[in-house]
Amino acid sequence: AQKITQTQPGMFVQEKEAVTLDCTYDTSDPSYGLFWYKQPSSGEMIFLIYQGSYDQQNATEGRYSLNFQKARKSANLVISASQLGDSAMYFCAMREVSSGGYQKVTFGTGTKLQVIP
Amino acid sequence: DTEVTQTPKHLVMGMTNKKSLKCEQHMGHRAMYWYKQKAKKPPELMFVYSYEKLSINESVPSRFSPECPNSSLLNLHLHALQPEDSALYLCASSRGTGTVRATNEKLFFGSGTQLSVL
């Protein structure tokens, strides 16, 4: 069963505008963590932001914020004031405990963001 | 030092070759991971090492053989690969082990090895 769902294969945004990338997840574990990673064409995975399942407030990291709606099981990434360098693939990921008791991080299918000058 | 270093960056090998991918981190992390990423797909977990012990093997074929010689190094030995094994192989590390329910432990990734099997 799909654990992390990103329904937007591709998105366009005008430079300096804000954009929201969608992510929904499925887990029965009350303790989990949600991450967003950026992967430019060069291939490296860059950590952007983290949200814990028990966190009371939405996470923010500079221009990145996470719109966490626990009841709806969604963790959307908001990028404010888009820059050309934001063009990349964005992955939502979830950390949870595997059946063997060890933690796993599972990635969604990704959203390719293109920033238009 | 907050880097995970992977070598080589690119590798081309034949189906009968034996090669190894290397990964190194000096952040004191005790969990290390191998992910495989096909083009335009998300990374897929292959192996997890916790305290130099293999803790997760996601049913990976035996032609991939991981090794963790010490807490800073992680190798992936390749033998008799198939063309469909061509992919980006990403190494990652995180601070703790899987048994600690510290779900905020982010993964630090290396820049990957782009593998082509001919």
Q: What confidence tens digit (pLDDT) does each residue in A90-103 have? A: 999 998 776 666 67
**Residue of B103, B111, B114 to mutate when probing chain A, most A C-beta within 10 A:** B103
Neighbours of B24 (CB within 10 A): 18
The pLDDT value recorded for residue A100 is 60
The string of DSSP codes covering A25-94 is E--S-SS-EEEEEEE-TT---EEEEEEETT-SS--EETTEEEEEETTTTEEEEEE-S--GGG-EEEEEEE
Of A89-98, B15-24, B33-42, the least confident: A89-98
Are B98 and A91 within 8 A, CB to CB?
Answer: no
Which one of B98, B103, B112 has the shortest CB-CB distance to A33? Answer: B103
Whether residue B1 contacts residue B26, with contact meaning beta carbons closer than 8 Å, is answered with yes
Q: How confident is the model at residue B1 (pLDDT cuts 50, 70, 90)?
A: low
Cβ <8 Å between B50 and A109: no
What's the pLDDT score for residue B30?
Answer: 87
A2-22 mean pLDDT: 94
Give φ, ψ of A11 to 5 degrees: -140, 145
| pLDDT band at A46; cut points 50, 70, 90 | very high
Tokens for B58? 């996601």
Average pLDDT (A10-39) is: 94
Beta strands A64-69 and A19-21, pairing class:
unpaired
Q: Is it the case that residue B103 has pLDDT exceeding 90?
A: no
Answer whether residue B75 shows pLDDT above 80.
Answer: yes
Mean pLDDT of chain B: 89
Q: How far is CA A114 from the centre of its chain?
A: 16
Q: Is the pLDDT of residue A58 over 60?
A: yes
pLDDT at A12 over 60: yes
Residue B100 has what pLDDT?
A: 45
A110 vs B contacts (CB less than 8 Å): 40-42
- Percentage of chain A modeled with pLDDT above 70: 93
Cross-chain Cβ contact B92/A45 below 8 Å: yes
A27 and chain B: CB distance < 8 Å anywhere?
Answer: no
Overall average pLDDT of the A78-86 stretch: 97
Q: Is A96 on the interface with B (CB under 8 A)?
A: yes
Q: How confident is the model over B34-43, as a mean pLDDT?
A: 94
Please check whether residue A67 touches B, CB under 8 A: no
Please say if the pLDDT value at position B117 is more than 90. Answer: yes
Cross-chain residue pair B103–A43, CB shorter than 8 Å: no
Residue A1: predicted pLDDT:
53
Give every CB contact of residue B7 below 8 A, 6+ residues apart in sequence: B21, B22, B113
